[in-house]
Structure 1
Amino acid sequence: MSVAASIPLLKNRIYRYLRETGSPHKALREFLNVELKDFDRIAIVGGLVRDLARRGKVGFRSDIDIVIDGEVEKVTELARRLGATPNRFGGFGWKSDRWKIDFWALGTTWASTNGHVLVAELSDIPKTTFFDCDAVCYDYRAKTVHASPDYLPRLRARTIDINLLPNPSVEGNLLRAARRILLWGFRPGETLRTFIDDHLDEASFRSIAGIEAGLFHSPVTQAFDGAAELKTALLADQLTSLLNTAANEQLILPGMRDVRT
């Protein structure tokens, strides 16, 4: 399946996915409709929305990330009731036999608490992501997609760039950039090219290569002898066909096991 042709069609993809009859989908609906019933506004963010936009349901192999527009105390009480574990950035992680779900109160998202973006409502979430391909969310109750007007055209153009430069993990985002460029066949925009050029050196290469080898059964950095060779491949005008661009994995940030977006 190709990139969704429009935001309404993306909304339909998400709606259909959430209504499927398989037991994982039923379990997800139960979490959204029962565990989160006391919250009027919740948004699905991260890999589910992005990957359904990019490739349809065949492209989604990830955990679920949810932002709750509710009082921090109520979200904390929800986490306590579920036995959820705090993550490093103000949210909580909860795992069932079907899903691993991370959730946050809207006001505790990293970009908000660190003063980089004013986050007052769910429609502000796309402003908070490091990568532009992640700058999308689905308002579950309103059945609305929030994204910039050029979100889908950029996916169709197979480009990836930085949406919000401040970030809590330079190496984590270097690794995500490398895997998305090499596995998805995307090309970096100018801001991401500068980020890669500034931060990818031998020390960071060794670090992300070691971390990737421990996290993924198909590491991509091992195909390169060092930072210079990897940087050349990432910044080339045309992607050298070294890797399987059909592969698709949601990426775990180094040092941020509980943050998936």
Structure 2
Amino acid sequence: MHKQTDCCPVASSHGVGRRTLLKTALGVAAGGLAGSMGSIESVYAAALSKAERDKLTPDEIIESFKQGNKRFRLGKMQPHDYLAQKRATAAGQYPAAVILSCIDSRAPAEIILDTRIGDTFNARIAGNIANDDLIGSLEFACAAAGAKVILVMGHTGCGAIKGAIDHVELGNLTALLAKIRPAVDETQYAGDRSSKNNEFVDAVAKTNVRLTIDAIRNGSTVLAPMEKDGKIKMVGAMYHLNGGVVEFFA
């Protein structure tokens, strides 16, 4: 009887052990599946889908930039899972806009507008000018890939603008700065028109943004009619290094 009594708990323990093991295995499997589904949902939520991009209006896209810049200035940027964004865009991309900005290291458009991987095409060149190759890139972004906004963004304290004001000559940079010179000449300013006057430099930078937009319109038989038909919108902006505000203007 003593042995039987000892045996029974042992047999029961084995049964409980097997049942526990089975439940544990099923729980792990279910948890793994749920985790995978959660991961998939997270990945898809990390990037614009074509349907989401296509239903946005140009004005809504511009407003999203304004809100993103506000988050940047307040230090309340969205949490970015760049690995999830990378995975979500690996098979395709549906950017809502294309941004033409300066190469200045202090003015990274994606960060100061708080955008994700895949949200925008980004073209950067000193002085945010538009040559034939860049205009071709903008045509691809809008006519071929579906972007609805062209944002040309200059910034305060721009070295390229200062170089154009000072008639700097340096290799291939000479020809680039020559494209900015019209903005220097067209800027209405009664005070000191030198590169040492920050107010004048920033006034020229703003004029340069407007002339770049004009160059895009006049230089593209693809983009101009798209803008006329309301399919895309071109807008200018100035990023202020002090304070971080992006000032938008038509």
Superposition TM-score, scaled by structure 2 size:
0.27
Q: Larger radius of gyration, structure 1 or 2?
A: 2
Superposition TM-score, scaled by structure 1 size:
0.27
